[in-house]
């Protein structure tokens, strides 16, 4: 009889957890207080996906009407956790006994910030502003080229580098010609052969705007940079094949841990929030491999996952001294704190369900035939 009663108690506890998970669906809202005194109203809309799993959309309505997927959302007892990979954020809280409030913290960086959520009703729910309309895309049959472009020597001894697209404005900061070639053609600097030494040492700032109307996609931006290289740097080349040491990205034995992107944009968002902190929004595996080879790793990175489509995720790791040479910075010594993020290879497996392996493969080599320092603007 005692064993039967214990079983009934366990069954009741499991049923309670299921009810809590089901009851979490709806709209939750609260105010996030920033260290600088600003207050941001936050809304999380929780629903049930196919199979009963919880999924959400996270809004910071004082910043934008654009929602960001919050997946996964888990409930264990009264503990609520959600991941917001598109912004490198997470939330952990406790569902209170009333079932209508969650006391917790939002994290997007080193220091958690208090964020307490209340279940909203139709009468109390905050209005979510309409997201900005998506920009009109550049026509697929357009001949993409820059209408105007300036190339200037970068400020001496400035650390780091950047490629940026803001609306219809393309710019780079502190980039070598090798950086521009790797961006335009999707290769690693070690795949460039026959170039003079200044191609990897002299740095430039670029600012350009396309000629055709509409918002270019990733392929069109790269085509415009290719034309810029041919026009202003007089770059000509031919392609060859060579066996090189590479890193290959493959799917782990338990499958990927990635979230399908719900973004309506045609460009990926891959911007480091710090060394070893990479949130990805609307990124293909090719985009991901490209940023890893251009900024983090010292050899080409080959996508062998076979994963199509675009994804949201966050990769958080502790870099070693050999990483981030592509950004021209040196990571600090690894922390001794046991709570520090894992190394890159472990983070790939634990956080993304992917593997990063060193191997050899036939890779394309970009052989420079002719190049010159840029012409005047």
**Average pLDDT of the residues in 10-19:** 37
pLDDT given for residue 329 in this prediction: 67
The domains of the chain are located at 24-30+39-119, 146-241+366-370, 242-362
Q: What was the pLDDT predicted at 169?
A: 93
In the numeric block, the tokens 């809590």 are attached to: 20
Mean pLDDT computed over 143-158: 91
Instruction: Report CA 266 to chain centroid distance, whole Å.
Output: 14
- Which CATH code for domain 24-30+39-119? 2.40.128
What's the pLDDT at 328? 64
pLDDT over threshold 50, residue 333: yes
What is the rounded CA–CA span in Å between residue 261 and residue 288?
Answer: 14
Place of tokens 């105010």: 31
3-state secondary structure of 149: strand
**CA 61 to each of CA 35, 86, 115, 178: distance values in angstroms, whole numbers, following the listed order:** 18, 16, 15, 41
pLDDT at 14 over 70: no
Say whether pLDDT at 150 is over 90: yes
pLDDT tens for each residue of 67-89: 888 888 999 999 999 988 778 78
Average of per-residue pLDDT across 41-64:
90
Read off the pLDDT of each residue in 344-356 and give the average, rounded to a whole number: 96
Q: Give, in order, the Cα–Cα distances in Å from 141 to each of 137, 138, 161, 210, 220.
A: 11, 8, 32, 14, 10
Burial tier of 362 (Cβ tally within 10 Å: 0-12, 13-18, 19+): exposed
| Residue indicated by tokens 């600090």 | 332
Mean pLDDT calculated for residue range 173-190: 92
- Tell me: pLDDT of 16 over 50: no
pLDDT at res. 193:
94
Structure pTM? 0.66
**CA 206 – CA 174 distance, rounded (Å):** 9
Q: In a 3-state reduction of DSSP, which class is residue 295?
A: helix
Q: What is the pLDDT of residue 199?
A: 96
The pLDDT tens digits for 80-124 are 999 887 787 899 999 999 999 999 999 987 789 999 999 999 999
Summarize pLDDT for 182-234 with one digit per residue, the tens.
999 989 988 999 999 999 999 999 999 999 999 998 899 999 999 999 999 99
């Amino acid at each position: 009889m005692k064993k039967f009663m214990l079983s009934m108690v366990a069954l009741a506890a499991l049923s309670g957890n299921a009810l809590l998970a089901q009851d979490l669906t709806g709209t939750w809202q609260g105010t996030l207080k920033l260290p600088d005194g600003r207050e941001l109203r936050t809304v999380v809309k929780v629903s049930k996906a196919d199979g009963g799993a919880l999924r959400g959309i996270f809004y910071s309505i004082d910043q934008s009407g654009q929602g960001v997927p919050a997946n996964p959302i888990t409930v264990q007892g009264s503990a609520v956790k959600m991941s917001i990979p598109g912004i490198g954020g997470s939330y952990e809280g406790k569902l209170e006994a009333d079932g209508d409030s969650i006391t917790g913290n939002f994290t997007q960086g080193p220091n958690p910030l208090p964020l307490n959520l209340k279940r909203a009703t139709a009468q109390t729910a905050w209005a979510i502003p309409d997201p900005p309309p998506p920009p009109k895309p550049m026509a697929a049959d357009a001949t993409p080229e820059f209408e105007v472009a300036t190339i200037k020597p970068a400020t001496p001894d400035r650390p780091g580098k950047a490629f940026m697209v803001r609306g219809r404005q393309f710019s780079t900061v502190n980039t070598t010609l090798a950086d521009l070639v790797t961006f335009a053609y999707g290769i690693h600097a070690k795949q460039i052969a026959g170039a003079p030494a200044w191609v990897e040492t002299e740095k430039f700032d670029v600012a350009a705007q396309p000629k055709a109307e509409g918002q270019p996609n990733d392929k069109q931006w790269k085509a415009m940079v290719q034309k810029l290289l041919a026009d202003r740097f007089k770059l000509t080349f031919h392609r060859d094949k060579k066996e090189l040491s590479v890193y290959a990205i493959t799917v782990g034995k338990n499958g990927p841990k990635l979230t399908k992107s719900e973004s309506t944009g045609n460009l990926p968002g891959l911007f480091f929030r710090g060394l070893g902190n990479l949130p990805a929004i609307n990124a293909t595996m090719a985009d991901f491999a490209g940023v890893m080879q251009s900024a983090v790793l010292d050899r080409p990175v080959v996508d062998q996952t076979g994963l199509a489509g675009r994804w949201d995720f966050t990769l958080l790791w502790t870099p070693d001294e050999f990483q981030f040479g592509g950004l021209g910075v040196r990571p600090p010594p690894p922390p001794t704190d046991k709570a520090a993020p894992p190394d890159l290879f472990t983070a790939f497996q634990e956080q993304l369900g992917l593997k990063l392996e060193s191997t050899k493969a036939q890779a394309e080599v970009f052989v420079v035939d002719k190049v010159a320092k840029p012409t005047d603007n």
